Amino acid sequence: MTAPSEEPKVSLRERIVGQLRAQIESGSLKPGEQVPSENALTDEFGVSQTTARAALAVLRGEGLIHVVRGKGAYVRGFKPILRDATTRLSAQQWAAGHAIWLADLGLRPMGVDRIDVSRANAPDDVAELLRAAAVVVRDRVYSVEGRPVQWAVSYIPADLAAGTPIERPDTGPGGTYARLRDIGHEPVKFVEQVRVRMPNPVERKHLKLDVGQPVAVIRRTAATAADRVVEVNDMVLVGDAYVMQWSFTS
Amino acid sequence: MTAPSEEPKVSLRERIVGQLRAQIESGSLKPGEQVPSENALTDEFGVSQTTARAALAVLRGEGLIHVVRGKGAYVRGFKPILRDATTRLSAQQWAAGHAIWLADLGLRPMGVDRIDVSRANAPDDVAELLRAAAVVVRDRVYSVEGRPVQWAVSYIPADLAAGTPIERPDTGPGGTYARLRDIGHEPVKFVEQVRVRMPNPVERKHLKLDVGQPVAVIRRTAATAADRVVEVNDMVLVGDAYVMQWSFTS
DNA sequence: AAGTGGTCTAGACCACCTT
DNA sequence: AGGTGGTCTAGACCACTTC
């Protein structure tokens, strides 16, 4: 009698997710705008609050919205930062490196939320790389437009850094690498290892992360021409805040 | 009368999450082992199934467990693959690049699940980079140990690739780049741009991803010495399957 | 006070896997 | 058949924000 069923096959949650995602991606819900509240979704789709919540949780997990307790859920809008490892640390130009993916990653001021400098014993794996246990630790959180975007912890052998501006929060022009150069240990070789994962609770706290937001974890080792490792820098980057770029030749 | 309350402050869900996470990280729950089922958690912690589910969902989101419908939840254990862009594409050696983070990323055979080669019109942004709309598209999924780990789509200008082995699934020794060299368009300059985000539904399907697993999205552009872009390769890497590495000098 | 999200319960039904 | 996860409801109470 009835027409063959259309086989929706998608759960109520996914139907809500799909509609909202489409609205966000099409721009009919603009960055900063409020997403329909749980109650609104309850009415509109005739589902329970639990289901409406589950739908919003999925969008959170995709980083499309962020949520403020007691206020509402809002469409994310954050222009990613271009982090170009090779041209920041070297001065090369790459003709092929222009206009890839993003034209408008304008440079924006990056501030330091917090910085702690101390002497300590390095974790085992770091000590092995540096061939030194006693290190100066530079621990800081960077922010852009009021939002924490990176947590970085650097380890420099204490026998190099002790008593130098590296032990001061502000290391002066050119930063730690320039100071290492001043004392005859200029780093010239760099290796960056990158992992992608969900943040642990400590990282979530430092970076004020919403649940479901992935991070990139970068370990950079910096070595001199004589292959002495003079710095290990462990960085945690908020995933949707960055586009990372590396350039190289064959 | 009673002792001052201990102010648990953590939700039931977080308490369950914390205990299971500790067990996984301490190794008392080993990779491949089954995590207590929802019913078991319901009994052990005296919570509803919904709450037990929510706890497991968090661990899924952190990539610590994966779930098989009708069977159970299991501790993840997958040795990540080392993807060294610079030494794979060049032949350089980096003394400082050894023994960073992971000693035992033994090379494992990477197979091709599926490969489709076709001619098509490139997406606008790719066409702009290649300065050509007509392209050969190489679309494939790679697997390691039966698990999809990467989805890669390459675009090569059709006026270069047409009629060459690049249009065949197996491009022969040295791959696409060797064939481009054969016809006088050897790529020598590379730029890789990397984003970190949650996968969209299409990516989740291709890579058979569990919910809550982040991916790295890499766009590599390969250019000749004359700065002609001869390939754009869009890759989606399963986050926890990889450690990506780049090396460079200042 | 009213609206928002955050947590949780008790119970239901379904789909999938193993025995 | 029985266990597992997947989806969903109806309702409760709490914490936070705005008015």
Residue B99 has a pLDDT of: 38
Å: A49 CA to D9 C1': 9
Asked if the Cβ of residue A11 lies within 7 A of any atom of strand C, the reply is no
Of the candidates A188, A196, A212, which has its C-beta nearest B216's C-beta?
A196
Give the range among A50-59, A82-91, A139-148, B79-88 with minimum mean pLDDT. Answer: A82-91
- What is the distance in angstroms between the Cα of A117 and the nearest Cα belonging to chain B? 24
pLDDT of amino acid A106:
52
Task: Mark yes or no for CB contact B250/A194 under 8 Å.
Answer: no
Query: CA of B16 and C1' of C8: distance in angstroms?
Result: 14
Nucleotides of C under 7 A from a protein CB: 3-12, 15-18
Measure the CA–CA gap between B37 and B71, rounded to whole angstroms. Answer: 9
Higher pLDDT, B199 or A196: A196
Distance CA A196, CA A215 (A): 6
Which nucleotide shows the minimum CA-to-C1' distance to residue B71?
D4
CB neighbours (10 Å) of residue B187?
Answer: 23
The DSSP line for chain B is -PPPP----S-HHHHHHHHHHHHHHHTSS-TTPEEPPHHHHHHHHT--HHHHHHHHHHHHHTTSEEEETTTEEEE---PPEEEEHHHHHS----GGGTTSS-S------EEEEEEEEEEEEPPHHHHHHHT-SEEEEEEEEEEETTEEEEEEEEEEEHHHHTTSGGGSS---TTHHHHHHHHTT--EEEEEEEEEEEPPPHHHHHHTTPPTT--EEEEEEEEEETT--EEEEEEEEEEGGGEEEEEEEE-
- For residue B1, the model assigns a pLDDT of 38
| Token digits of residue B225 | 């010495």
Q: What is the pLDDT of residue A167?
A: 95
Quick check: B26 contacting A, CB < 8 Å? no
How many CB contacts within 8 angstroms connect chain A with chain B?
184
Q: How confident is the model at residue B89 (pLDDT cuts 50, 70, 90)?
A: low
Residue B154 has a pLDDT of 96
* Residue A91: predicted pLDDT: 40
pLDDT number for residue A89: 54
Which pTM was predicted? 0.84
A138-CA/D16-C1' distance, Å: 36
Q: Let me know: does A189 contact B98? Beta carbons within 8 Å.
A: no
d(CA A134, CA A123): 10
User: In this structure, are residues A119 and A136 in contact, taking their beta carbons and an 8 Å threshold?
Assistant: yes
Residue A178 neighbours by CB distance under 10 Å:
14
Mean per-residue pLDDT of chain B: 84
- B90 vs A: CB within 8 A: yes
pLDDT score of B169: 93
Name the residue with higher pLDDT: A101 or A144: A144
pLDDT recorded at residue B104: 41
pLDDT at A174 exceeding the cut of 70: yes
Whether the per-residue pLDDT at B68 is higher than 70: the answer is yes
Check residue A26 and report its DSSP letter. H
